[in-house]
Amino acid sequence: MVDALRGYALVASAWARAAAQYRVSLSTMIFSTLLITGLDFVEILIVFANTHRLAGFTVAQVAFLYGVAATCLGLADLLIGSIERLGERIRDGSFDAMLVRPIPALALAAADRFSVRRVGKLIQSIAILCWALAALDLGMTLERVGLLVLMLASGTVIFLAVFVVGAAFQFVAPGGRETMNAFTYGGGYLTQFPLAIYGRHLVQLVTFVIPLGFINWYPALQFLRAPDPLHLPAALHYLSPAVAALLVLVALGAWTTGLRRYRSTGS
């Protein structure tokens, strides 16, 4: 574990240093991602130009949901987003080079091509989260602050785990990047809106099968003191950290299984 984190930090900082040599192109790229991801939120504003409430939620509340999910996804993507290219690495053989190092291959694959460029998305998400908090004008009690921190931390870990599961899937199907994106970025998109608008079946899916609902929806219901439009047990509101921990185990298991398969089948 220590080896993995140390190895990750080594490789990621080498990439960051290399990118810093081209300062102009770096800032241009951050700015352009900022602009592009900003369009996501414009979409929400367009919806609210036609209605005051969405499944009972105000624009500030939806902005909060969006801000939390996007911040978590942004953080996870910044940290290990490049792992989605594992399939390419396997196909062109460069994954083998990661297996001859004294560092866990997962850490090397996650840090590969670490890019500060992705911070653009994160800045935009945090800005919207801050705006939402200001517009909501809730009393920021200690409980709320704690809940927010826990929500962001668990949400990020959930997305990290989803990224790793997606990468592990590419051991079986090296062309599986698109499928993986459906869960990572698709999950990010899905959680931008109140889950209540999707109907009961999808909510059950993202609660019990691919637990994306725990990134923002359940803890946010608690945070906003909003009634659950689907009347599910309130205990779900506090389960995010446990779900995140469980998903980490699932992700590590999937990775180990995938790696074992790769090493016994060859490429």
Give me the residues that bind another protein (CB under 8 A), please.
3, 7, 10-11, 14-15, 17-18, 92-94, 96-97, 99-104, 113, 260, 263-266
Nearest distance from residue 130's CB to another protein, in Å? 34
Nearest distance from residue 97's CB to another protein, in Å? 4
Nearest distance from residue 95's CB to another protein, in Å? 9
Residue closer to another protein by CB (options 80, 243) is 80
Residue closer to another protein by CB (options 12, 195) is 12
Nearest distance from residue 28's CB to another protein, in Å? 18
Residue closer to another protein by CB (options 113, 117) is 113
Residue closer to another protein by CB (options 2, 142) is 2
Nearest distance from residue 139's CB to another protein, in Å? 48
Residue closer to another protein by CB (options 14, 130) is 14
Residue closer to another protein by CB (options 88, 228) is 88
Quote the CA–CA distance of 37 and 249 in Å, as a whole number.
31
Nearest distance from residue 107's CB to another protein, in Å? 10
